[in-house]
């Protein structure tokens, strides 16, 4: 049985993430979608919220489980018996970072390989940051994120706007 891990912050999960997860699930016997708990970036959603949204988005894929994790991705991969880490590539600039991470992971865990899947053309522009930025200013994110995520974004920014006197400020929107 081949197990793969698809890690990310999923803040929030987008239709591009769903596309990669769906395609990876077709390639491997079991896919663990791993929501990273403490990335070095400012998050909009808590780990529990990101995990719940991801689980809901992928609930119809029978060989997918969703869990959060701390620490090194290769350590998670080894702990669940995965031999593969799945990464998605949107644009050429993604390749440099993913190549560096794959080599680092290979150094740390020679028994774990990285497989990169190219995003579907219709999602090449899409990132969590773009979806958040559009939602933050009241734009429509239909088709970019699952419907439950669009509702969560709208609600989160409504609550943040009310709490901040309608002056929502996000320090970092980088993916």
Question: Which residues participate in catalysis according to the annotation?
Answer: 17, 41, 90, 128
- Beta strands 3-8 and 84-89 are parallel
Longest CA span, the chain: 53
Degrees to nearest 5, angle at CA 73 with 70 and 106 = 150
- Cα separation, 3 vs 110, in Å, equals 16
Q: Check: CB of residue 131 under 8 Å from CB of residue 145.
A: yes
Query: What is the strand order of the sheet 3-8 is part of?
Result: 64-69, 30-36, 3-8, 84-89, 113-118
Angle in degrees, 0-180, between the axes of helices 47-57 and 15-27, rounded to the nearest 10: 60
């Amino acid at each position: 049985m081949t197990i793969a891990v698809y890690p990310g912050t999923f803040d929030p999960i987008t239709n591009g993430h769903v596309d990669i997860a769906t395609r990876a699930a077709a390639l491997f016997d079991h896919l663990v979608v791993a929501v990273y708990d403490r990335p070095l970036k400012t998050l909009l959603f808590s780990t529990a919220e990101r995990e719940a949204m991801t689980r809901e988005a992928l609930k119809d894929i029978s060989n997918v489980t969703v869990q959060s994790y701390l620490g090194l991705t290769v350590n998670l991969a080894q702990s669940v018996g995965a031999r593969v880490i799945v990464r998605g590539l949107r644009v050429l600039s993604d390749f440099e970072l993913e190549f560096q991470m794959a080599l680092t992971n290979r150094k740390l865990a020679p028994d774990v390989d990285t497989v990169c899947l190219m995003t579907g053309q219709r999602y090449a522009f899409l990132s969590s940051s773009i979806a958040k930025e559009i939602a933050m200013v009241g734009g429509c994110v239909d088709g970019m994120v699952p419907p439950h995520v669009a509702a969560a974004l709208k609600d989160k920014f409504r609550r943040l706007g009310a709490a901040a006197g309608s002056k929502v400020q996000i320090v970092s929107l980088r993916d």
